[in-house]
Copies of this chain bind each other. A is one copy, B any other.
């Protein structure tokens, strides 16, 4: 059992050992000691419904994934400069879900590395240096992609242009037009477009999902100007949106490059860039890329097990069904209370935009912070997102069931009605 004294001791050790760049969730930080399925267990014995973490996509510590990891770790863990079955099988399975025609894969360890590499590739292959992202995008933490991640407070990198995000039906309908105007601005500055880089669920913007297909016009525009479309699937990928394995598939477009990460190893560090074979061939001319851990035996075996579980447990269908159930419940709450201004998302990636709450006297970001912390006290873990910080971010493991959604809805109803 953890006591407040233990928490204080951990906080003090953390301050003495980790850099002050580290941040903790929640007003009362949680010490988590184990997790299983949709549940996380704190040191004080309390359990929490995990409706936040998108990494454990098939549920925390899934036995089949852990078993694959351990079996391979006992046998062999080495890199891609020897021949091996695992990275080939993984690349084949991924490409089968991703690209209708011939594609290729490069494995990395993190989504940041994948986006960094995709951006490098797009510069090398197009000869361009201009990038279009949305205003509050997040694409990772290397120097290059930090310049493409205004959400983190970073200054924009050279050649980076932003467009307003497609939040809401009107902004979604005019998204292509905004991208076209942005390309014109870029060209007027003498900058040649390299790529349009988009998180296909617009997570950091506060979640933009509908209507399906709104990306198509923007993708046509960048291609017409000689640039590539890079789909950042680090957040929406691996079935999270229920209707498809990848976010771009909801929009009827095929990206030139696709990056993926977070859920790929259910917590094990593996990520990848996939894309058109001709793009990789062009990039490979005179250039090497080697990632020591990227595509190692254990990472690949783990990722293969994640794909197998997504299939065998029919998790896309579950994400679709549970997500729909949850969104219906959220919409009912919205009609009842008036605090909820909008419910967006697909599958188990849901954004709940909050407005004024008479019960708490708070609004927007302050109300959202109160709700996130209030849900935590009530045993449900969620986060917040969006430029204004007024969107509750819900991203449960894809194994979430209706009974878990009910717990979340009930805790949210209580929190919205309460003053604290």
Contacts and interface: CB of A to CB of B under 8 A. Distances in A.
Interface of A: 7, 10-11, 13-14, 16-25, 29-35, 40, 53, 55-56, 60-61, 66, 69-70, 73-85, 87-88, 91-92, 95, 102, 104-106, 108-113, 116-117, 119-120, 141-144, 146, 152-154, 261-262, 266-270, 280-281, 283-284, 286-296, 298-299
B22 A80 contact: yes
Given A17-B91, A80-B22, A110-B291, A144 B144 contact: yes
A292 B55 contact: yes
Contacts of A270: 269
A254 B32 CA distance: 36
B82 A14 contact: no
This protein's copies in its complex: 2
B113 A110 contact: yes
Contact of A77 (B56, B70, B109): B56
Binding site secondary structure of chain A: mixed
B77 A25 contact: no
Nearest to A83: B31
B287 A21 contact: yes
Contacts of A16: 102
Nearest to A149: B288
A104 B14 CA distance: 9
B76 A61 contact: yes
8 smallest beta-carbon distances between A and B, as pairs: A77-B267, A17-B91, A19-B280, A143-B144, A269-B293, A31-B83, A20-B284, A70-B70
Contact of A19 (B34, B81, B106): B106
By CB atoms of chain B within 10 A, which of A32, A69, A70, A142 has the most?
A142
A291 B77 CA distance: 23
B289 A141 contact: yes
19 contacts: A10-B83, A10-B84, A11-B83, A17-B91, A17-B104, A18-B80, A19-B283, A19-B289, A21-B287, A40-B78, A55-B292, A78-B267, A108-B110, A109-B109, A110-B110, A117-B141, A141-B290, A154-B287, A269-B299
Contacts of A266: 77
A174 to B, nearest CB: 31
A267 B109 CA distance: 12
B76 A66 contact: no
Contact of A290 (B23, B91, B119, B267): B23
A82 B19 contact: no
Contacts of A33: 75-76, 84
